[in-house]
């Protein structure tokens, strides 16, 4: 099942993708995609709906596939080759940080380079959405707590992240720095999250990421289990699981986003995104 949100920014409605790729309106059945709408009971109810019985709509814009997230968790340096290109040792435990939930954006919205930014970078990632309250879950049980998966671009301002002191969050949280979607694909359609191609191209090929989630240092199950030792995960929490090699920071010379650049990115089975970088206009 592929769930989505469609419509103008700030007025999105929940929807479902039908077998032919058409968008079906779920707003008569569901308030929005967040929180308790992502629990097993809610998803089971949605699975019982025949998309053909829902209105078919013209959806020129897709919003983030989640209307809000209680916490936007993220994991740093979680692909072996990305750690290598960053010149950093492979972490012994997951590197945990967060993004402001206000950075959520539609998968194809323009990406504004923030005011005073000099090093805005791209990071295609596998997003994991939690569907149940989770504390101290074992690795063996961790994937049972997943509502679904999605594509996330963990956009990052590297100067703010690495050269300005403090925590990474301020380099990760500008408006639009969390394009999410196009769909939330329920976990039953992704039997192995560690066997998915993940890719990104800049301007059709320059600065390309092309890897597989099998290169993760810590698997999705390990990440969920680890986080649940230190905090309570709740339905609707979003976890970015790290990015593969091929980011602008790792290129020689380094290459950061400029107005007019076009990013295209995706994860196998989860759809793709397209963003054009635009200058901050005040």
Q: What is the pLDDT along the chain (282 residues), one digit of tens a residue?
A: 999 999 999 999 999 999 999 999 999 999 999 999 999 999 999 999 999 999 999 989 999 999 999 999 999 999 988 878 778 788 999 999 999 999 999 999 999 999 999 999 999 999 999 999 999 999 999 999 999 999 999 999 999 999 998 889 999 999 999 999 999 999 999 999 999 999 999 999 877 999 999 999 999 999 999 999 999 999 999 999 999 999 999 999 999 999 999 999 999 999 999 999 999 998
Summarize pLDDT for 69-110 with one digit per residue, the tens: 999 999 999 998 887 877 878 899 999 999 999 999 999 999
The answer to whether 100 and 72 are in contact (CB under 8 A) is yes
Distances (CA, A) of 192 to 43, 63, 189, 269: 19, 26, 9, 11
- Strands (DSSP E) found in 18-118: 23-25, 56-57, 72-76, 95-99, 104-105, 111-113
Q: What is the pTM of this model?
A: 0.97
- Do 203 and 264 form a contact (C-beta atoms < 8 A)? no
Fold of 64-279: Fumarylacetoacetate hydrolase; domain 2 (3.90.850)
- 78 CB-contact burial (10 Å; exposed 0-12 / middle 13-18 / buried 19+): buried
């Amino acid at each position: 099942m592929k769930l989505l949100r469609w419509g103008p920014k700030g007025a999105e409605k929940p929807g479902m993708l039908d077998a032919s790729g058409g968008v079906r309106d779920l707003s008569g059945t569901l308030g929005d995609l967040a929180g308790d709408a992502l629990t097993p009971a809610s998803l089971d109810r949605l699975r019982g709906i025949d998309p053909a019985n829902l209105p078919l709509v013209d959806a020129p814009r897709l919003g983030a596939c989640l209307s809000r997230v209680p916490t936007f968790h993220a994991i740093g340096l979680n692909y072996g080759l990305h750690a290598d290109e960053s010149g950093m040792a492979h972490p012994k435990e997951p590197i945990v940080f967060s993004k402001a939930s206000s950075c959520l954006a539609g998968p194809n919205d323009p990406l504004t380079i923030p005011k005073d930014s000099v090093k805005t970078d791209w990071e295609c990632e596998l997003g994991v959405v939690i569907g149940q309250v989770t504390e101290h879950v074992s690795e063996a049980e961790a994937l049972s707590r997943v509502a679904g998966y999605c594509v996330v671009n963990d956009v990052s301002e590297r100067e703010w992240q690495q050269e300005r002191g403090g925590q990474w969050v301020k380099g990760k949280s500008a408006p639009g720095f969390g394009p999410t979607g196009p769909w939330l694909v329920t976990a039953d359609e992704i039997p192995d999250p560690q066997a998915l191609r993940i890719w990104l191209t800049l301007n059709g090929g320059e600065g390309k990421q092309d890897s597989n989630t099998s290169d993760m240092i810590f698997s999705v199950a390990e990440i969920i289990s680890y986080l649940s030792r230190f905090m309570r995960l709740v339905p609707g929490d979003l976890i970015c699981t790290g990015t593969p090699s091929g980011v602008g920071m790792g290129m020689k010379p380094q290459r950061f986003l400029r107005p007019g650049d076009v990013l295209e990115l995706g994860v196998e089975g989860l759809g793709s995104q397209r963003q054009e970088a635009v200058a901050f206009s005040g």
